[in-house]
Structure formats: C-alpha cells, structure tokens
Amino acid sequence: QWLRGFQAVAECGNMSQAAESLGLRQPAVSYLVQCLENELGVQLFHRRNKSMELTAEGRLLQEKAITMFDLVKEIRCEVGSGSRQEYKGEISLSTTHSVSANIIAGPLARFHQKYPLTSFILQSGGESSFTLELVNSSSIDFGILAGKDFPATIEARPLFLSRLVLVSRRDTVFTRDEQGFLKNSSELDGVPFVAFSSASTLSRVVTDELLECGASPAVASTANNSAVILSYVKAGMGVTILEDFTVRNCGDELDIYPLPGDEALRQYSLITRRRKHLPPQS
C-alpha cells in the first residue's frame, strides 16, 4: 500500500489527484508516502506548493516499483485464476500514425477475427519519445518504433526495415541509377518541398539525409501526417521524402525514387519494458 500510494503521487504529480485516483482522502495518501520515506530513510519527493517532484532516490524507487507491480500481475496470472484465462481483454500499444495505418491495421484485424473477445487500445503520435515514455512507464504493453539505441529498461525485437523514398508528381522528373534509385540527391537543391513538422522524428532523419548530400530544398509546406503530405504533393505543392511503406498504393499517381545506401534504411522494432508482465492476450 505504501508503494501504491507513492506510485500514484509519482504519476499524478500532486497529492490531490493521487488521492482521487486511489479513492482515498489526501491525508491518507500523504501518510502512505511518509511511512515509505521513514521505512527507507530517504526523501522521495521535493514538495513545491501543490506539486510533488521525484528526488533521485524517488526516481530509482519508481523504476523498481513498476517492475514489482508487473511481477504481482504475473503471479496473479500464472498462479491464480488468471492462469485459466482465454485470449480476451485489452491489448495496448503505441506507434506512429504511418505505422498504424499502413503496417498493423491488417494484422490487428486478423487477430481480432481469430480472438473476438480481445480489443485494442491504440495510441499513435509523430514523436517517438511519446511511445517510449508510455512503454517505459509500463502504461502500455507494446510500442513499435524506428531506432537502434534504446534505454536499458527497454527490450527491442526487430520487426521490419523501411527505406526512405523521394515522392514527386509525374511532371517533376529526377535521374535514376541502373537499379531505379535516385541517382543524385543534390538534384533536390532548391526544389519546392513538403516536409514533416519539426517535432517529427522522421523530419530530423530526412534533414540529416539531405544535409549529408548537400541538398537544401525550399520548404513550401509542413504537415504532421504522411497522408496529408501526399495530398499536398499530388496537388503540386512540391516533392517529399517519406518511408516506402507509406506510398505502396501511390505508384499509379506519383513517381517513387528509393534513396540509395544503408543510411536511408530504418529499423523498426517491437519494444516492451524489460520484465514487464504481459497478459495472455498480449
């Protein structure tokens, strides 16, 4: 109970919201935290007006507490009545809008058809830190992210590779090499360009790729969704660089130029928190 009180305050950032989430009164939650601090002999929070900010010891304890709560769930599932569960219940995951729409929609639908008592809670966003934070706090079961360097608390299983591709209208032609790849990225210098908003992880990847080849496109518009960006390209706003899986059905309307080299490849992985308990359906 002390740990649950502590974890509620750590997640909510203040006593009143933590008390509400636990169905307790504020003095009761404050007492739980004080008991835990006395037991451990350390201060777990910096108390500032109505807010509660974790100390270094508090952050360490929160990491341990998340693992402990997952272990309790595992015991209930494997030893208790949960061990006889069918595949039913919620499965939570987070990824980007593009992966949600182009990669996992079919697999999730097939899984649900096979196990109709399951349901999915999907949270999607453009910034990888959003998904990473949800997974690391054990708030969701899975995340799907591009990248290689993850925190030590994260376990990553490779899923698929994507390649960056240049997308343009048929009336804007670029040079291809013998394999059909974009031959010279410097041709993009000064060309009207539709970019992802700067908050997007892909925006930083594309910017680095263009800087590497010495090209500086003229940004005509920005958006935070690949479908919106493609509609702008089709309307004649400019060219863009996206991932290959987002343009699989655009070959009849647009020209697709894969970018050459390993630098244009992105590794996507399924990430979970290490030692996290996953219910049977997950």
Quote the CA–CA distance of 40 and 50 in Å, as a whole number.
Answer: 23
Percentage with pLDDT > 70 across the chain: 96
Q: Residue 279's pLDDT band (boundaries 50, 70, 90)?
A: confident
Average pLDDT, the chain: 88
Using alpha carbons, list the distances in angstroms from residue 159 to 125, 129, 151, 248.
Answer: 19, 19, 18, 18
User: Is the pLDDT score of 143 beyond 90?
Assistant: yes
> Poorest-confidence range of 2-6, 155-159, 200-204, 252-256?
200-204
Tokens of 260: 């050459």
Q: Residue 167's pLDDT band (boundaries 50, 70, 90)?
A: very high
Strands 154-169 and 240-243: antiparallel
Mean pLDDT of 188-207: 85
List pLDDT tens digits, range 60-104. 898 888 888 877 877 776 666 554 556 888 999 999 888 998 999
pTM confidence score: 0.70
Q: Higher-confidence residue: 43 or 204?
A: 43
